[in-house]
Structure 1
Amino acid sequence: MPSPDVLIWGLPLAFLAGFIDAVAGGGGTITLPTLFLMGLSPAHAVATNKLLAIFGSGSATLQYGRAGHIDRPLVFRLIPLALAGSALGAYLVHFVDPDVFRNLVAAVILGVGLLVIVNKSFGLEDRYPGLTPKVLAATLPGALIIGLYDGLLGPGTGTFLMFLFALQGFNLVRASGNARAINFATNVGAFFYFLFQGQMVFWIGLPMGLANAAGAFVGARMAMLRGSVFVKWMYAGIVLLVAARLLFH
């Protein structure tokens, strides 16, 4: 086990990850490698990462929810499917070649980022039509598939969710709020799964979780203050970070 002095650099990185994740997703691409560098085994790092992620995603969800940037009727319908997909992904992880899957997802997320950047108006205006059959036909299977990816690999789950919501007409601030809410639910589900396995390192996960929550608070407030243009460029940067994390793990 690492010594307590790893928190000297672990806490600032957890804060940064919370800030980034609250704006555009992808915070796990920072926290998970940080936990590995601290000396945790893969099992302990993954479990502890879910512990601290609850704090960050919960903090961001609270901020977006208070400001009215979460569409509860839609999100509440998607959470069960995202949870089911995540559980299925965790089961299938033993039957899938992770390297092939990482390369495929990296290509997909780069394509998503390119589409967001090239389409100058994408995600800047709120054109969400409401809870229509067309919206449900796109988001219900989308939540299941992204949840499955979360259970299999995880990096960039929030980024994919944001894209799913932006495709339905949400501006990127509201898309981020909805994505954080679903991410929080899947993190809670994963937390209980890992909790019963006894692999969480609480003396690392709890303080880093508080730092992650503080970063998420600042990030969510910044996203709402600066608007969708700010979120869009942060999103583009996170897409590159997630792709690099998948390709050069």
Structure 2
Amino acid sequence: MPGPEVLLYGLPLAFLAGFIDAVAGGGGTITLPTLFFMGLAPAQVVATNKLLAIFGSASATVQFWRGGHVERALVLRLIPLALAGSALGAYLVRFVDPNTFKTLVGFVILGVGALVLANKRFGLEDRSPGLTPRVLALTLPGTFIIGMYDGFLGPGTGTFAMFLFALAGFNLVRSSGNARTINFATNLGAFIAFLIGGNMVWWIGLPMGVANALGATLGARMAMLRGSAFVKWMYGLIVVLVAARLFLTR
């Protein structure tokens, strides 16, 4: 078990991860390797990461919710599907080779990032028509699939969710607000499951969770202040980081 000195680098990295995750998702690409580097066992890493992530996702959700950048009527319909998908993904992990799945998802997320960046206007304007049949037909199954991915693997969940909401017509700031709310729901479901399992390292997860929440608060405010163009730039960066993590970790 590591000593308290690991928090000297764990806290600033958790803050950075919270900032990035609130803007464009992908905070786990920083916190998961950090927890591994501390010397925690794999089960402890996954559980402790969910402990600290729930702080950050909750903080970001509150900021976007207060700022009016969450489509509340829509996300409240989507949360049960996200939770159900997450539970199914956690069950399916025992039947699918995770390394093959990582490679596939790595290519998919690079393709998603290329589509977002190649279309200069994508995500910069808010074109959401409300709770239309098209929006529901896109987001209901999409949220279930993303929840399933989060339960199965996890890295880039928020990034995929942002793309889903941008496809539905939301600008990238509102897409980020919606995605953070969905991600909070899936994090909460996973947190409860891991809480029962008893692998969380509380003395690491709690202070890193506070740092993550502070970073997420700043990130959400920055996204709302700087607008969709800033979020789009950050989104491209996170796509590369998430893909690299999926390709390079086995």
TM-score by structure 1 length?
A: 0.99
Give the fraction of aligned pairs with identical amino acids, expressed as a percent. Answer: 77
Deviation at 1:102, TM superposition (A): 0.4
2:215 is matched with 215
Deviation at 1:218, TM superposition (A): 0.5
Q: Deviations over 1:109-163 (max 9, x none)?
A: 0000000110000000000000001111111000111111101100000000000
- Counterpart CA distance in 1 for 2:101 and 2:196 is 28
1:94 is matched with 94
Deviation at 1:239, TM superposition (A): 0.2
1:24 is matched with 24
Q: Deviations over 1:80-123 (max 9, x none)?
A: 01110100000000100111100100000000000011000000
Deviation at 1:42, TM superposition (A): 0.6
- Counterpart CA distance in 2 for 1:99 and 1:193 is 23
Q: Runs of 5+ in structure 1 lacking a partner?
A: none
1:37 is matched with 37
- Counterpart CA distance in 1 for 2:32 and 2:210 is 16
1:9 is matched with 9
- Counterpart CA distance in 2 for 1:137 and 1:93 is 27
Equivalent position SS for 1:196: helix
- Counterpart CA distance in 2 for 1:178 and 1:81 is 14
2:178 is matched with 178
Deviation at 1:47, TM superposition (A): 0.2
- Counterpart CA distance in 2 for 1:101 and 1:191 is 23
2:188 is matched with 188
1:54 is matched with 54
1:149 is matched with 149
- Counterpart CA distance in 1 for 2:117 and 2:189 is 33
- Counterpart CA distance in 2 for 1:100 and 1:195 is 28
1:83 is matched with 83
- Counterpart CA distance in 2 for 1:54 and 1:84 is 18
TM-score by structure 2 length?
A: 0.99
Q: Runs of 5+ in structure 2 lacking a partner?
A: none
Which runs of at least 4 in structure 1 moved beyond 3 Å after TM superposition?
Answer: none
2:132 is matched with 132
Deviation at 1:244, TM superposition (A): 0.1
- Counterpart CA distance in 1 for 2:51 and 2:150 is 15
Q: CA RMSD in A?
A: 0.4
1:227 is matched with 227
Equivalent position SS for 2:7: helix
- Counterpart CA distance in 2 for 1:211 and 1:77 is 30
Q: Deviations over 1:183-212 (max 9, x none)?
A: 011111111100011110000000000000
